[in-house]
Every structure is written in structure tokens, then in C-alpha cells.
């Protein structure tokens, strides 16, 4: 049977994550997995921190703490944010602590080497003797040989936009410490991407169905693909396999090589924790697996080209990505999120004031699926107030409080003589409703959010048309049937909501007097007249209370002012 192996881009353990990361790669994956499971599919959701690389060593040294301590801090901090948002991974680990990671990364390297997809090259690079490391282009600054701009970056001149090679600087300086680096020769292993392309990857990519914003982009990249270095001169990382390295020391696998292998090693870690050490193979080396990578657009070349090339080059039977639902970028109030620039939302403060479940819904409803989008405070308020509080929250309270008052807190039964007619009115005359799962499976989360609201509105129309408060006086039996029908529909709404807002869905389920988990009831089949009711009649309601507190204008104005103030203070230094 088909099974779904879902991954979210491994967050880099070098700083806090913001809502842009959350909606780009994590929240959609969580909703996807929850939906699949409610539909009875087998799914595994894997994530963890990416913890190697030079940016981390620089950060740790700046903070004066050991590398492992540094990455542990961010691994924990990032996970805390995920926990607050209700993101549930089956395994959460880190590339520097996962017990299988180093061994498996070396295994990848060895297999790829043995299969003839690695080449060695000697190059000359700038080396900073103060920081004791080779400098990436961006870590070098100097005078542009083209236009004379004195603070050109090693990769590109900000003034004349010319591509640069830092070796061409007459006066190179290390961006970290300001001293002059020296030239050194060094040998590295390169992944022979053109060879993988010609043997397999080119035709695989051409014949694979990609999300529209992914396909054209990577097809074009295949033409200019070049070998990529996969080793690096530093100490923090996975050491080269000793049998390959020989007498060469001081090299580790480059972070972008070992990071995606984390998906596999974390799966092994999960299997081990389940007491089935071999179970990971069922997920990674079985053609029934559908591998889905949720990422931001900056990761497209990596997950659609490089990682598949690595998987193929091992010739170890690994599955390749089935879908890569990459999102575009998510901004904040018209500008890019910038932690260092103060243009961000401090999450501790945010979650002290605002509901994490409502935030999940808003992020999904505004997700950057086809183009960049943004978190906008006024939109957030409108979404919470008009869609969640008014359309869904009020539907629940208006119906259940009515039931509470007139039926002694028990959901009435729908009289058999009313059922066919009420089904017809509800299902065909009160507006269109759709199945959010269809949209979710197509990675259209904004559309699914709309459908959720539309579905709730169907019941609001039904209540208005039926006017049970009048029937109560003229035809009490019919009033009871109407309320019974509304309660049943709310049960559907709760299940449709469950992947988006699991806690709120559960709260509705409890208000309906149902025990157990709402997700245990599974995903609802599209309601069909005569057979859609769950049979809630007779249930004793739980305590009925408002689900979504409203956010007032003053609160929003204060948040916008605080955001601008933060940015201003950072700009002033």
C-alpha cells in the first residue's frame, strides 16, 4: 500500500525561526500529514535541525560557547516554537546528535565515490590565519577590480553588479576579523552532477510532474549544472571516511551534503526508537513510498536536483522525491522578515497575546503558494474576527446554546419524517461546500482554508432559513429536527477543521458531548443525503463557550506601532 514519507526542510540551528519559515515548510506539512492520517493513509513526518557549517562555528565563537552547546540551544529554541504551534513530528533530531547520522553520511559518500560520481580537484582559496578557516566568497571583502568600489563583496560588487572572484582582489580582507587572508591550495571532492544528469537525472526531471513554480526553474538549471564540492576544510561536521581520506586530515563533509541525509538518519533513529531497527528501509527503499519534501523556494535546486542526484548516485535503492511543494517567501507587513533588523514578531510576546490555533489558520490562509505573500496585522485581525470568530465560532455557540436552553443540554433527534427534506435543504440549497482534503492533497492550503469557512457558512444559511426560534413556537418537533441537523453539521465542521486547528476541533467535539479524539472519527466522506449523519442525538453537551476571542483595533494598532518602533531602534543602532 502507498505510504507517505513527509519531510520539512531542516531548520538551520543558527537562530530563531519566524512565521516565514513556519508557513513555508512546516505548517503545511503538519496539516498534510494530519489529513492523510484522518483519511487512513500511512504517513511518517520527519524533521530535525541542520547543525553543521561555518555559519554555526562563527556564531558559537561569537557567543563564546562550544559548538554542541550552541546548536543545542537553537535546536531547543526552534522546537519550542514548533511545539507552541502544534507541529507534531514523528521524530525531531539534529544532524550533530543523531546516532546514525555520521555513519550514514559517510556511507553515502563512500557509495557515491565507489560508483564513480566523485572527482577530486585542487583549487586555490583564501585562508584566514586568524580565524583558521578558508573563506567563502561572501566572507571576503575588497576593492572591486572593475569599478573601484572599496567594499565589494567576494561574490558580487554591490555597486556595479559585476560577478567577482575574491582571488582577484588586490586587497582582500576577511569579513569576520578584518585581516588579510592568504592564498592556499586545497583539495576537495566534487559531486559529478553532469555525469548524474546524463546518466539519469536529466530524463527523470524532464518526465517528473512538478509544481508549476518548480518545473521551469529546475529544467533550466540542468543545462548549466556543474560539479559541486562536497568537502570542506574545517573541524565541525562529519569527518571524511578514513578509508577515503587516507593521509588527508582536517576535512569534513560539506554541510549541504550531510544535511539532507538527516532525513534518512532521523528516520533510522525513529525506527530504532520503535524497536524496529530495519523499519526505516520500508520508508526509504520501497517503491510504495511517496516522498514529499516541504521547503521554501530557496531550497528548490537542492531538493529537486542535488539531493535526488545524491540518492541516485548511491545506487542503494533509495526512493526519489514524489512531490516538492515549494512555497514562495512570506514577508511581514510589506517588508522581508529580518531578525537582525528588528522587522520581526517576537514569538514569546506574540503567543502570550494571541491564539496559536487561530495563527495556524491565518498563516495557512495567507500562505505564499503561488507568489510571495505576507503576514499583515490587519488581515490577521480580520481573519480571526470575521472568519474564525464570526463564521465558525458564532455558528457553534448560536446552535449549541440554543440546544442547551431548549433541550436540557442534550442534542435532539431528527424526526424521520423531516430528515429527507432537511437534508435536501442543507445539502443543496444553502450554498456550495467542498472537501478541504482534496485541496490539501493538491497542496492548496489557501483554498482549503476558504472551503472550511464556506462549509461553516452553509450551516449559518440553514439556520437562518429554518429559523428554529420561530419553529419553537409553531412546530416544536420540526425545530428539534433542525437543531439536530445543525449539530450534526457542526460535527462535520469539527472534523474538517482538525488538520488546521486540532485543538479547536477537539474543543468543538467536546462541546458536542463526544468523548475521545475527533481525529479518531476519521475524515468525513462528502455528506450525502440520507446517510451523512453520525448519530449524535442524545449526547449531553459539554460546556459551551466562545472558541475565538476577538482581537480589537487598539491591540492591532499597538502591534503595528511596536513593530515600527523596534525597526527604528535597531536602525538607530
Partner RNA sequence: GGCGGUGUAGCUCAGUGGUUAGAGCAGUGGCUUCAUAAGCCACGUGUCGGGGGUUCAAGUCCCUCCACCGCUACCA
Within 516-545, the residues that bind RNA by CB under 7 A are none
Size of the site for RNA (CB under 7 A): 85
Q: Round to whole Å and give the CA distance between 91 and 316.
A: 23
Binding to RNA (CB under 7 A) within 301-320 occurs at 301-302, 305
Does position 182 bind RNA by CB under 7 A?
no
Does position 550 bind RNA by CB under 7 A?
yes
- Quick note: the x/- pattern for RNA over 8-37, rule CB under 7 A, is -xx-x-x-----------------------
Q: Are 283 and 268 in contact (CB under 8 A)?
A: no
Does position 561 bind RNA by CB under 7 A?
no
Does position 327 bind RNA by CB under 7 A?
no
- Quick note: the x/- pattern for RNA over 380-399, rule CB under 7 A, is --x---xx-xxx-xx--xxx
Q: Round to whole Å and give the CA distance between 558 and 349.
A: 13
Shortest CB 68 distance to RNA, Å: 17
Q: Are 309 and 201 in contact (CB under 8 A)?
A: yes
**Which part of the chain contacts RNA (CB under 7 A), choosing from 70-78, 272-280, 293-301, 490-498?**
293-301
Sign of CA dihedral 341, 380, 75, 261: negative
Does position 137 bind RNA by CB under 7 A?
yes
Binding to RNA (CB under 7 A) within 414-433 occurs at 431
Beta-carbon contacts of residue 193 (< 8 Å; ≥ 6 apart): 201, 225, 226, 227, 228, 305, 306, 309
Shortest CB 243 distance to RNA, Å: 25
Among 401, 424, 540, 568, binds RNA (CB under 7 A): 401
Does position 122 bind RNA by CB under 7 A?
no
Shortest CB 137 distance to RNA, Å: 5
**Which part of the chain contacts RNA (CB under 7 A), choosing from 379-387, 505-513, 535-543, 552-560?**
379-387
Among 3, 84, 441, 447, binds RNA (CB under 7 A): 447
Q: Are 357 and 325 in contact (CB under 8 A)?
A: no
Shortest CB 448 distance to RNA, Å: 12
Does position 255 bind RNA by CB under 7 A?
yes
Q: Which is nearer to RNA, 38 or 380 (CB)?
A: 380
Binding to RNA (CB under 7 A) within 61-120 occurs at none
Q: Which is nearer to RNA, 12 or 45 (CB)?
A: 12
Cα 429-430-434 angle, rounded to 5 deg: 105
Q: Which long-range contacts (CB under 8 A, 24 or more apart) does 458-462 make?
A: 458/426, 458/430, 458/431, 458/432, 458/433, 458/489, 459/395, 459/399, 459/426, 459/430, 459/486, 459/489, 459/490, 459/493, 460/391, 460/395, 461/430, 461/431, 462/425, 462/426, 462/430, 462/486, 462/489
Q: Which is nearer to RNA, 39 or 221 (CB)?
A: 221
Beta-carbon contacts of residue 224 (< 8 Å; ≥ 6 apart): none
**Which part of the chain contacts RNA (CB under 7 A), choosing from 28-36, 61-69, 252-260, 347-355?**
252-260
User: How many C-beta atoms lie closer than 10 Å to residue 467's C-beta?
Assistant: 12
Q: Round to whole Å and give the CA distance between 90 and 269.
A: 10
- Cell numbers at residue 565, please? 518602533
Does position 220 bind RNA by CB under 7 A?
yes
Q: Are 52 and 252 in contact (CB under 8 A)?
A: yes
Among 134, 189, 270, 509, binds RNA (CB under 7 A): 134
Amino acid at each position: 500500500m502507498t505510504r507517505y514519507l513527509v519531510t520539512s526542510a531542516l531548520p538551520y540551528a543558527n537562530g530563531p525561526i519566524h512565521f516565514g519559515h513556519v508557513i513555508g515548510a512546516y505548517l503545511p506539512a503538519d496539516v498534510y500529514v494530519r489529513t492523510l492520517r484522518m483519511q487512513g493513509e500511512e504517513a511518517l513526518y520527519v524533521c530535525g535541525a541542520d547543525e553543521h557549517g561555518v555559519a554555526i562555528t562563527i556564531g558559537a565563537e561569537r557567543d563564546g560557547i562550544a559548538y554542541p552547546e550552541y546548536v543545542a540551544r537553537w535546536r531547543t529554541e526552534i522546537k519550542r516554537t514548533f511545539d507552541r504551534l502544534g507541529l507534531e513530528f514523528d521524530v525531531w533530531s539534529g544532524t550533530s546528535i543523531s546516532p546514525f547520522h555520521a555513519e550514514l553520511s559517510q556511507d553515502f559518500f563512500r557509495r557515491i565515490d565507489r560508483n564513480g560520481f566523485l572527482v577530486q580537484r585542487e583549487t586555490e582559496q583564501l585562508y584566514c590565519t586568524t580565524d583558521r578557516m578558508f573563506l567563502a566568497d561572501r566572507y571576503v571583502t575588497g576593492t572591486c577590480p572593475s569599478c573601484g568600489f572599496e567594499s565589494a563583496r567576494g561574490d558580487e560588487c554591490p555597486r556595479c553588479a559585476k560577478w567577482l572572484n575574491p582571488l582577484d582582489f588586490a586587497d582582500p580582507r576577511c569579513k569576520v576579523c578584518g585581516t588579510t587572508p592568504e592564498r592556499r591550495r586545497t583539495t576537495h571532492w566534487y559531486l559529478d552532477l553532469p555525469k548524474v544528469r546524463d546518466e539519469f537525472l536529466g530524463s527523470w526531471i524532464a518526465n517528473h510532474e512538478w509544481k508549476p513554480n518548480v518545473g521551469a526553474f529546475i529544467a533550466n538549471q540542468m543545462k548549466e549544472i556543474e560539479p559541486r564540492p562536497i568537502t570542506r576544510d574545517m573541524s565541525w561536521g562529519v569527518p571524511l571516511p578514513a578509508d577515503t581520506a587516507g593521509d588527508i586530515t582536517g576535512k569534513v563533509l560539506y554541510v549541504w551534503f550531510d544535511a539532507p541525509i538527516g532525513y534518512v538518519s532521523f528516520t533510522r533513529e525513529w525506527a530504532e526508537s520503535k524497536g524496529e531497527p530495519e523499519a526505516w528501509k520500508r520508508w526509504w527503499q520501497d517503491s510504495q513510498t511517496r516522498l514529499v519534501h516541504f521547503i521554501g523556494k530557496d531550497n528548490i535546486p537542492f531538493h529537486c536536483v542535488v539531493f535526488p542526484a545524491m540518492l541516485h548516485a548511491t545506487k542503494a535503492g533509495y526512493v526519489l522525491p514524489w512531490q516538492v511543494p515549494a512555497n514562495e517567501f512570506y514577508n511581514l507587513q510589506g517588508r522581508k522578515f529580518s531578525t537582525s533588523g528588528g522587522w520581526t514578531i517576537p514569538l514569546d510576546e506574540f503567543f502570550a497575546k494571541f491564539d496559536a490555533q487561530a495563527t495556524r489558520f491565518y498563516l495557512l490562509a495567507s500562505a505564499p503558494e503561488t507568489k510571495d505573500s505576507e503576514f499583515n496585522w490587519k488581515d490577521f485581525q480580520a481573519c480571526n474576527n470575521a472568519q474564525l470568530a464570526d463564521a465558525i465560532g458564532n455558528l457553534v455557540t448560536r446552535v449549541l446554546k440554543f440546544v442547551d436552553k431548549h433541550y436540557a443540554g442534550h442534542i435532539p433527534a431528527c424526526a424521520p419524517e423531516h430528515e429527507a427534506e432537511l437534508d435536501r435543504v442543507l445539502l443543496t440549497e444553502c450554498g456550495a461546500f467542498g472537501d478541504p482534503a482534496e485541496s490539501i492533497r493538491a497542496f492548496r492550503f489557501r483554498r482549503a482554508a476558504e472551503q472550511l469557512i464556506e462549509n461553516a457558512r452553509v450551516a449559518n444559511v440553514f439556520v437562518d432559513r429554518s429559523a428554529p426560534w420561530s419553529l419553537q413556537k409553531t412546530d416544536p418537533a420540526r425545530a428539534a429536527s433542525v437543531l439536530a441537523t445543525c449539530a450534526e453539521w457542526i460535527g462535520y465542521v469539527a472534523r474538517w477543521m482538525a488538520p488546521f486547528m486540532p485543538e479547536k476541533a477537539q474543543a468543538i467535539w467536546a462541546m458536542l458531548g463526544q468523548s475521545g479524539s475527533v481525529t479518531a472519527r476519521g475524515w468525513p466522506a462528502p455528506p450525502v443525503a440520507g446517510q451523512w449523519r453520525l448519530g449524535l442525538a442524545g449526547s449531553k453537551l459539554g460546556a459551551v463557550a466562545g472558541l475565538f476571542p476577538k482581537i480589537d483595533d487598539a491591540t492591532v494598532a499597538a502591534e503595528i506601532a511596536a513593530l515600527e518602533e523596534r525597526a527604528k531602534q535597531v536602525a538607530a543602532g
